[in-house]
Amino acid sequence: MKKNHKLLITMGLITIGILWASCCPMNPKVNSVLTAHGNTDWHIDTAEEFLTGSDMAGNPTATNHCPNSWTKNHMHVGLTNTSDYYNDVSKTAGGEDNDASNGIDRAMLFFYAGHGNPTSYSTLNSSNGLTNMLLGNCGTGQIMAS
């Protein structure tokens, strides 16, 4: 009887751990990078150049860029009003920072190219601010963007 009780407690703790892990975002893939542009002027090329060393037309422009071996994605191309993808759900209703395709919390490194100031920035025909952003937001190790 006592042995079954310990087994049930152990199984319960494992189940709780699995459920907690499934709700908490996992660490992003090592050597992964996402870029986003806040405006479609030269910033779209800057974000692309950071990833590949070429502009959006494929013209080589920068020799110093992200390593070719990294997992890379230039997000928000062709989109407008991307503000929600910068918002953390714990900070504002409708936050989409963990969106599988366009959320900024999906990679080890996030690079933004656009207009702004120390507390706000452009998000393709909209704007956002650091008060809505939260990076590293799993458990208690929360880091505010700055």
Whether 114 is covered by a domain: the verdict is: yes
Residue 146 located in a structural domain: no
Distance of CA 132 to the CA centre of its chain: 13
**E strand or H helix at 32:** strand 32-37
Q: List the one residue out of 18, 17, 24 whose CA is nearest residue 139.
A: 24
In terms of residue numbers, what domain contains 75?
27-82+99-130
139 — pLDDT class (breaks 50, 70, 90): very low
- Residue type for 17, please? G
In a domain, 87, yes or no: no
In a domain, 115, yes or no: yes
pLDDT band at 23 (very low <50, low <70, confident <90, very high): very low
Distance, CA of 59 to CA of 130 (rounded, Å): 33
Count of C-beta atoms within a 10 Å radius of residue 25 = 15
Is residue 7 domain-resident?
Answer: no
| 70 within some domain | yes
Q: Is 12 domain-assigned?
A: no
Q: What total of structural domains would you count in the chain?
A: 1
Q: DSSP string spanning 81-127?
A: --GGGGS-TTTSTT--TT-TTT-GGGSSEEEEES-B-SSEEE-SSSE
The model's pLDDT over 77-134, given as tens digits with 9 standing for 90+, comes to 999 999 999 999 888 888 999 898 999 988 889 999 999 998 899 999 999 999 999 8
Distance CA 55, CA 26 (A): 32
| Residue 138 maps to a domain | no
